[in-house]
Amino acid sequence: MKNFMLFLMTLFLSCHVMAQQTTVTGTITDGTDGSPLIGANVLVKGTGTGSIADVNGKFSVSVPTGKDVLVISCIGYKQQEITLKAGQKVVNVVMKEDSELLDEVVVVGYGTMKKSDLSGASVSMGEDAIKGSIITNLDQSLQGRAAGVTAVQTSGAPGSS
């Protein structure tokens, strides 16, 4: 009976040691001006574990034992894979801009996607088209300049047209 209890204790202790996780924290900043990157994604490669950078560019993610690669990504920046050293708990990342990707990203009302994956019609208008005119509302700036767009000013009150 004594050997059986010793066996069970050893089994439970080994399960506890194998299931340990390390919390890794850090800051993600822009490489050009050092400003924090809000909303940058941090994922542990090969798992569904991840985190998002806060307004100060800080993140905290639990890394399971045996997983040592973090994948850092943000729209408009090159994705980076960082291999953690043994016992490393702080990672500060400087992201480099990827200007080639900026032309390929379209922001839609429910997320972002590549321009090639967008189905339907899309119209883009540069700021120089808006600068030269006197406008009081955004809908006035689109009227007559974006093909297929009809802009109508409403009061926004419930029941109005």
29-64 residue pLDDT tens: 998 898 999 989 999 998 888 999 999 999 999 998
Give the whole-angstrom CA distance, residue 102 versus residue 31: 16
Strands (E), the chain: 21-30, 41-44, 50-52, 58-64, 69-73, 80-83, 90-95, 105-108, 111-114
CB 130 within 8 A of CB 114: no
pLDDT at 92: 92
Instruction: Look at the pTM and tell me if it is higher than 0.85.
Output: no
Superfamily (CATH) of domain 2-98: Carboxypeptidase-like, regulatory domain (2.60.40.1120)
Residues of the chain predicted below pLDDT 50 = 15-17
Per-domain residue ranges of the chain:
2-98, 104-142
